[in-house]
Amino acid sequence: GAGVSQTPSNKVTEKGKYVELRCDPISGHTALYWYRQSLGQGPEFLIYFQGTGAADDSGLPNDRFFAVRPEGSVSTLKIQRTERGDSAVYLCASASGRPPETQYFGPGTRLLVL
C-alpha cells in the first residue's frame, strides 16, 4: 500500500513569508507526528496528533509554528513569518497508535528560507 507522502518535496521561500507543508499519512493511521531535521542532527519532535486533536505540541519552537489535522487524516504544518533558521527538512510520520507502535516516515519537505 501507499506510504506516507509529503508535499512539496522542496520549498524555497523568502524570509518573512508564510509556508504550508502537507502530510498524507498511511490510510487508517490515527497517530501523526511532525519532526524537524536540521543539518547534522537527528529528527526533532515538533507535534503529535491522535485523530484530529494535537495530543502533544510541546516541540513547536514558538508561536510562528502551527499544525492542523481537521479530518484526522491529512495534516498541514504552517509556518508564519519564516526565518532563515527555519531552514531544515520537515518530516512527517504516521503510526497505528502511540509508541511503541512503529512510526513510518515520509520522505520529508526540504525548506530553504533565503
Partner 1 sequence: DQQVKQNSPSLSVQEGRISILNCDYTNSMFDYFLWYKKYPAEGPTFLISISSIKDKNEDGRFTVFLNKSAKHLSLHIVPSQPGDSAVYFCAASSAGRDDKIIFGKGTRLHILP
Q: Which stretch binds partner 1 (CB under 8 A): 13-21, 39-47, 61-69, 75-83?
A: 39-47
Sheet holding 75-79, edge to edge: 5-7, 19-24, 75-79, 65-68
Min separation Cβ 24 and partner 1, Å: 13
Min separation Cβ 87 and partner 1, Å: 16
Q: Which is nearer to partner 1, 19 or 108 (CB)?
A: 108
Min separation Cβ 95 and partner 1, Å: 10
